[in-house]
Structure 1
Amino acid sequence: MLSHQIFGFKCKDILKFISYLLLPIILGVFALVITLQQQQLLKQQHEEDREISALQREQDKFFNDQKYQNELLDTYINDMITLLKESNGSLTSNEITATIARIKTLDIFRQLDAQRNARIIRVLHDAKQLTETQEHSALDLSTAKLCDIDFRHMAINEKQLHELFLMGVFLSNASFINMDMKFVSFAKTAFDKADFSGISTDLSDTKTLYANFQKASCIAARFNRSMLSYSNFWRSNLKHASFHSADLTNAIFTDANLYGAQFQYARITDMQLQSTLSIQDAILPNGTRAEDRNLINNGHADCTISPVDNWALLTGNVITAMSSTNDTNCQFMLQTFAMGATVMQRVNLSFKWDPNTWPHSQAVLSANMGSNVFIQLRGINEIGHIHSQQKLNSTQRFISLVLNRDMHQLEVIIGFEALVKNSSKSNSWCDDIKLFIVYGTDLEFIQDTSTTTSMITAVLPAYKLFTVFNVFNDMIFNPDDATTVENIGRKLSAAINLGFQCLNDVSKPQCSLSSQRKWHTIFDYNITIISPIVLISSHTDNPRRYMVSYTVMDISKNALLPGTQVIMAIDKVPNDQKLILFGFTIVNNTFVQSPFNSSFTVFTTTSPKTDKLWIILIFLELMALFLFFIGLYFCLYCKFRKRENDKPIA
């Protein structure tokens, strides 16, 4: 029998050595694995204990804060009771008591939450300290800032609230839903957007008789289905407010700003609307869009009168004549083609714009014209110098000029360029020259600059929509201009509202591919742009790609619509109609997009320490397995060689 050897060692000795070595290694590996797992469990338990401790501290802090606020509220109420006893039931009976009550109330408002602030208002109202009577005036709470107040909690049966006087107060996200209010006054009160999500002051389904909203700021406030008979909105800022199906019988809107307001199915007369400061782009009860009176006299060419009526002819000569393409459309045209012409008209701002009431306003000029015509809009100061100016040409639909308190006049100059060789005479015309003012206040300017970025994340993803569109280099487009943004919103509104009309009745002619006409659209859905228009391509690209984000609200239901419903509606509109209504080509022909249109990949991250630990464990286990297979191999190899050596020699 031959003894098989490897490197001078017998196989039997090698196997013994490996068997002696393998068992401690395996035991050591498993001991190490168990130790590491126990450490991991202990660490996890420690983290859980820390979280429980932190949660306990938060709960203790919350209960302590609640206790502290309750103590503040009780102290305030006791102080007011004492003052009422000392002043025979009227906090405004003398100046000192009124001042003390006002200081204490404004100070407590800053320290308490919305629920307790509502209780304070209810206590004061129940004590008749927020009511104007012949015996005493209401407690002055002007400049108080109240957020998330639900006035239903202070009404009788959460319905009736009468004779409430809150003047000059800032009310953010206040709710008056389904309430019956009479003889309430919110004069000079600002109804502010509170949560930047498009939800603003809500007076929906409210019966509010003889309410006073004089000089109130109700930007984007909702008065849907409310009874507002005999209410007073004198000089109020109601920009983008919604009065859908509201009863506005005998309501006063004298000098009120109703720019972009919604009056679908509302009960309001033409006389009421004509008394306003502005109704530009407001949606009237019959679904049509309103326009302010044109500040330009003879802005629409009339072939029956002299073309220079109300215009000063500076150079050349201008005539009125029928369009070469439409024999019913009269236009201003250049007569002396060799030298060109210039006409001018000035608009006095004295009786059209009050810089103290509307300090953040802008003039908007629009016109139709040929390529050989341009229009300049200038702001002129008191001594006749140009303060600022903008220029409109045939590639633009409108321009805007920010008004400054130094401006006393607006000057509109129409220039007809002299024709050079090979120039077309058919391009020397203009018509439909319109000038109006978009009025704005300090308050809405502050809101716009402080809430824009917050609104992006405030809207739930299911309701956040966006459209990506192309802008070519020959188009004048400024995404930071407020008028441009509003114009994009109007175009989106027209297309999306048409989509819902087609969804309900696909037989409408505007829902047909063969229809190339821009049809009248009823606006039952409101579009709110929730973030700045963003350039998502390089500024050197042609075309450049921009993205606009917005929400769609069903006005009748007063609720935001998810992206799936809007996409289903807009898909019913032919692409040619989308282009006519929106005016820009759409990237990939996908008009409305939502974060839920495409799939999302969720990535999870693990701790680097945890990754290293498992790598070590896997390596050790592989080493033990490797040694085990080596031992098994040697065992089988030696056994096989032993059988060969035991064979008899012939």
Structure 2
Amino acid sequence: MIPQEKSTQKDRLLFAPRQLFGLRLGDILKFMSSLLLPLALGVFTVIITFQQQNAAKQQRDEDRKSSELQREQEKSLEEQRYKNEALDTFIKDMGKLLKENNGFLTANRVTATLARVKTLNILRELDAQRNMRVIRFLYEANQLAEVDGHSPLDLSAAELRDMNFRRLSIIKMKITNLSLTGVFLSNATFAGVDMEYVDFATNQFDNVNFFSDYINNVSFSFTRLNNSNFSYGKFRNANFLFSSLFNVNFSFSALINTHLPSTQIEHGNFSFTQLFNVSFSSAQLDHINFSFAQFYHVDFSSCLLANISFSHARFVDVNFSSATLQNVDFSYANINYADFSSAQLLNVNFSFAILPSTNFGGTAASYVEFRRATCIAVLFSSAILSESSFRHSNIKHASFEDAKLNNVDFFRANLYKADFSGAEIEDSNLQSALSTQDALKDDETVFHDRNLLNDDQYDCNISLDNSWILQTGNVTKRMSNKSNISCQFTLQLHNERATMLQRINLSNKWDSSTWPNSRAVLRANMSDGVSMRLKGIKRNCSASAKEIL
């Protein structure tokens, strides 16, 4: 082959890979570039179309919402116009009835019925604000009070919700001579209102606020109150007869001449409340907090009290006679002249309480705790006490006459001059007491405290050296002529002198922190020429007192 032909063939082989299916690479690139522009335009068109569709949808949604809002506004305006017209019509109709009946809607039965029906209908149609205007119109027209022998308009069965009664009177925050009975009030407020001569009898209150009210001669008899707030209120001559109160708050209130007999109160807060001449007689109280309250001349007679806290409360002349108390806490309470006679007590706690002259006569008590209580001159006569404790209590001058004491603990209690005559109690139950000095049993048996000298061994059979230190002289022991249980010391020689010494450790005899005013008493019969020297020594061995008898 000619060299030139070989070169031409070699060049063809070099350019062979740049062809595909007989097409040159340049042709392929031109073809693809011709397709890119329509493809880009197509994609751009699709994106623009989607955006236009979304924008159209958003516009339709906004138009729909705007239309709905406009319709709602028009509907609201229409409702407002209707309610305003209904209120105006009601007032005109009532005004006409008032003119026709000399100012009294209850002048006759027909008028009273018509006025009642119209009022109940309008109260169902209107909102809370306009209903308040209805009540205010009737109140200011003297139709909700007894006037000149005409009874108030009967609105019983009315449902009043979300009402603000602070706007009821022209004289702000004061309501007088109002009768609103048999109605249902929900989410209403009377906060800060002064109320006098108001009748709420047979009402039902739900979530009603009477915070810081002054309530004078107001009747809540036969009412039902749920979740109501009376805190910081002042009550005078209020009547809750046969009412039912659930989850109510009277904390920090003052109740004077207030009547709550035969009421039912559950889950109430009366903490820090002051009660003067208040009656709870025959009431049922459950889960009530009376802690730190003050009771003066309060009647709980025949009550059923369960799960009650009277801790740190103060009582003066309070009557619990014939009441039933279960799971009641009087710890740290100050109780003066209270009467628990014929009451039934179960799981009641009087620990650290002060109960001077309290009457528990005829009481049936089980599992009652008087630990470290002050029960001076308390009466337990004819009481039945079982499984109860008076540990470390001060019960001096108390009377247990004819009482039945079963498994009652008097450990380290002060029973000085306590009267157990006729009581059913074992002497062993009294042996653990701190003091039984001059306590009486069986009208004859008088208890005496154990002699601190000689470790209670004061008979003549014990050697003198076992308990006394004879410093000088010679002393003998012989039985006293006046008592067969007492020894007397005599000199062996009348012309001699003798000195005897005994140290008594009082630190383990009683708890001085529990009995800060306690003292040891020395009784001695001494003949002429005998002197006795007493010397108190503190823990640091310094002298605290010296006395010569």
TM-score, length basis structure 2: 0.53
Structure 2 Cα separation of the partners of residues 306 and 178 of structure 1: 49
- Within the alignment, does 1:286 sit opposite 2:292 as a pair? yes
Q: Which residue of 2 aligns with 1:8?
A: 22
Q: Cα deviation per residue 1:247-303 (whole Å; 9 max; x = unaligned)?
A: 21111112122222111222214x625425123321115167159724867461699
Match of 1:581 in 2: none
CA 1:145–1:36 in 2, change beyond 3 Å: closer, same or farther?
same
Change (3 A) 1:57 1:237: same
Aligned to 1:63: 77
Would you say 1:268 and 2:275 are equivalent positions? yes
Q: Are the equivalent residues in 1 in contact too, given 2:259–2:280 (CA < 8 A)?
A: no
Instruction: Tell me if 1:37 matches 2:35.
Output: no
Q: Which amino acid aligns with 1:115?
A: Q
Q: 1:166 aligns with which of 158, 164, 180?
A: 180
Q: Secondary structure at the match of 1:183?
A: strand
Partners of 1:170 and 1:19 in 2: CA distance: 84
Tell me the CA shift for residue 134 of structure 1.
Answer: 3.5
* Cross-structure match for 1:215: 222
1:321-400 equivalences in 2 (<5 Å): 321=407
Amino acid at match of 2:262: D
Structure-2 change in CA distance of 1:251 and 1:274 (3 Å)? closer
CA offset digits 1:457-513 (Å, max 9, x no partner): xxxxxxxxxxxxxxxxxxxxxxxxxxxxxxxxxxxxxxxxxxxxxxxxxxxxxxxxx
**Alpha-carbon distance between aligned partners in 2 of 1:89 and 1:293, rounded to the nearest angstrom:** 53
Residues 267 and 285, structure 1, Cα contact 8 Å, conserved in 2: no
Q: Is the 8 A contact 1:225 1:247 kept in 2?
A: yes
User: 2: CA distance between counterparts of 1:185 and 1:89?
Assistant: 21
Shift of 1:50: 0.4
Tell me the residue number matched to 2:464: none
**CA shift for structure 1 position 174:** 1.1
Partners of 2:44 and 2:79 in 1: how far apart?
52
Q: Deviations over 1:381-428 (max 9, x none)?
A: xxxxxxxxxxxxxxxxxxxxxxxxxxxxxxxxxxxxxxxxxxxxxxxx
Name the CA distance, whole Å, in 1 between partners of 2:268 and 2:77.
45
- State the Cα distance separating 1:239 from its structure 2 match: 2.3
8 Å contact kept, 2:205–2:224: yes
Q: In structure 2, give the amino acid aligned to 1:275.
A: S
Taking only the aligned residue pairs, the percentage that are identical comes to 39
| In structure 1, distance between residues paired with 2:412 and 2:102 | 77
1:124 is aligned to 2:138: yes
| Cα shift at 1:60 | 0.4
Q: Could you tell me how far apart the structure 2 residues matched to 1:79 and 1:64 are?
A: 22
Q: Is the 8 A contact 1:257 1:276 kept in 2?
A: no
1:158 deviates by 2.9
One of 237, 251, 255 as aligned partner of 2:262? 255
Aligned mates of 2:29, 2:176 — CA distance in 1: 100
Higher relative contact order (CA 8 A, sep 6+): 1
Closer, same or farther in 2 for the Cα pair 1:276/1:114, shift >3 Å? farther
Summarize the alignment of residues 438-457 of structure 1 with structure 2, pairs less than 5 Å apart. Answer: none
Unaligned runs of 5+ in 1: 193-199, 309-318, 330-650
Residues 1:115 and 2:129 aligned together:
yes
In structure 1, the residue matched to 2:211 is 204
| Partners of 1:150 and 1:174 within 8 A in 2 | yes
For residue 133 of structure 1, the aligned residue among 144, 147, 166 is 147
Amino acid across the alignment from 1:278: Q
* 1:47-86 aligned within 5 A: 47-86=61-100
Q: 1:276 to 1:151 in 2, by over 3 A?
A: farther
Q: In the alignment, residue 191 of structure 1 is paired with which amino acid?
A: F
Name the SS of the counterpart of 1:228 in structure 2: strand
Q: Is the 8 A contact 2:227 2:248 kept in 1?
A: yes
Q: What is residue 245 of structure 1 aligned with on the other side?
A: 252
C-alpha distance in 1 between matches for 2:412 and 2:226 = 41
Structure having the larger proportion of residues in helix: 1
Amino acid at match of 2:270: F
Number of residue pairs the alignment of both structures matches: 310
Q: Which runs of 5+ in 2 are unaligned?
A: 1-10, 294-307, 311-319, 327-343, 346-363, 369-379, 387-404, 414-549
Which of 366, 370, 375 pairs up with 1:300? Answer: 366
CA contact (8 A) 1:259 1:279 kept: yes
Cα offset, 1:66, TM superposition: 0.6
* Superposed CA RMSD: 2.8
- Candidates 29, 35, 40, aligned match of 1:21: 35
C-alpha change, 1:253 and 1:40, in structure 2 (3 Å) is same
Q: Deviations over 1:408-455 (max 9, x none)?
A: xxxxxxxxxxxxxxxxxxxxxxxxxxxxxxxxxxxxxxxxxxxxxxxx
Q: Please give the alpha-carbon distance, in whole angstroms, between the structure 2 residues aligned to 1:17 and 1:236.
A: 98
TM-score (norm 1): 0.45
Per-residue deviation, 1:328: 9.6
Q: Which has the larger radius of gyration?
A: 2
Distance change in 2, residues 1:241/1:128 (3 Å): same
| One-letter code aligned to 1:281 | H
Letter in 2 for 1:171: L
2:243 is aligned, of 232, 236, 244, to 236
**Closer, same or farther: CA 306–180 of 1 in aligned 2, 3 Å:** closer
**1:14-67 Cα deviation digits (max 9, x unpaired):** 000100011110111011101111111111111111000000000000000111
Amino acid at match of 1:249: I
Q: Please state whether the residue corresponding to 1:171 is helix, strand or coil.
A: strand
Q: Tell whether the 8 Å contact from 1:233 to 1:252 is kept in structure 2 after alignment.
A: yes
Shift of 1:6: 2.7
Q: Which has the higher strand share?
A: 2
- Alpha carbons 2:291, 2:309 under 8 Å: kept: no
| Inter-partner Cα distance in structure 2 for 1:32 and 1:55 | 34
Q: Is the 8 A contact 1:165 1:185 kept in 2?
A: yes
